[in-house]
């Protein structure tokens, strides 16, 4: 009996979840734009830390990134969740692929980004600032970056 009740409830929950899903707005809220910026900054620093850590740069940035990731993992996860919710709402027919494609393009871009002493010093400095000044410093760094996010995703007015 318990099994049959569970099987009857499951389709109703799936149907109501689909019916209650947010309709696309054709834009991203300020909070969603900020989350996208933060995700992009995280990818940029992670890939920069990976590239600048070893030969020929030797900026020892990977250990710094790991400290940032450990310390602020829950904040990164929350921003990723906000981003995912926006993708689910706006791209409901392809929400499973859109975030992966977007993140994949970012990772590829920053993994292949041409490294230099100036770039690696900047990555190192931003990681050190994040560790010494906290999450707010990271959010400020993300908001200072050139704003390609608003070019790609229309902000709600």
CA distance linking residue 86 with residue 3, whole number of Å: 35
The overall average pLDDT reported for the chain is: 85
At residue 23, the pLDDT reads 85
Q: Name which of 43, 36, 55, 58 is nearest 113 in CA terms.
A: 43
How far the first Cα of the chain sits from its last, in Å, is 52
89 φ, ψ to 5°? Answer: -70, -50
Tell me the pLDDT band of 146, cut-offs 50, 70 and 90: low
Under 8 Å between Cβ of 55 and 64? no
**Higher-confidence position of 16 and 154:** 154
Q: What is the pLDDT of residues 44-73, one digit of tens each?
A: 999 999 999 989 999 999 999 999 999 999
Percent of the chain residues topping a pLDDT of 90: 62
Tell me the pLDDT band of 16, cut-offs 50, 70 and 90: very low
CA distance linking residue 153 with residue 88, whole number of Å: 14
At residue 66, the pLDDT reads 99
At residue 67, the pLDDT reads 99
At residue 18, the pLDDT reads 45
Percent of the chain residues topping a pLDDT of 70: 84
Sign of CA dihedral 50, 151, 27, 29: positive
SS percent in the chain: helix, strand, coil, step 5: 75, 0, 25
CA distance linking residue 94 with residue 156, whole number of Å: 21
CA distance linking residue 134 with residue 117, whole number of Å: 25
Under 8 Å between Cβ of 72 and 138? yes
Q: What is the pLDDT of residues 88-104, one digit of tens each?
A: 898 878 767 777 787 88
């Amino acid at each position: 009996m318990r099994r049959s009740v569970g099987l009857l409830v499951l389709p109703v929950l799936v149907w109501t979840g689909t019916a209650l899903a947010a309709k696309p707005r054709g834009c991203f809220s300020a909070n969603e734009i900020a989350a996208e910026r933060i995700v992009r900054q995280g990818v940029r620093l992670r890939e920069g830390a990976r590239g600048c850590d070893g030969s020929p740069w030797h900026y020892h940035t990977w250990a710094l990134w790991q400290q940032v990731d450990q310390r602020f993992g829950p904040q990164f996860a929350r921003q990723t969740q906000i981003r995912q919710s926006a993708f689910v709402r706006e791209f409901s027919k392809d929400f499973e692929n859109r975030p992966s494609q977007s993140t994949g393009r970012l990772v590829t871009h920053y993994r292949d980004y041409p490294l230099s002493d100036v770039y690696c010093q900047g990555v190192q400095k931003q990681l050190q600032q994040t560790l010494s000044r906290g999450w707010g410093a990271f959010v400020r760094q993300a908001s200072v970056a050139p704003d390609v996010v608003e070019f790609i995703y229309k902000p709600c007015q």
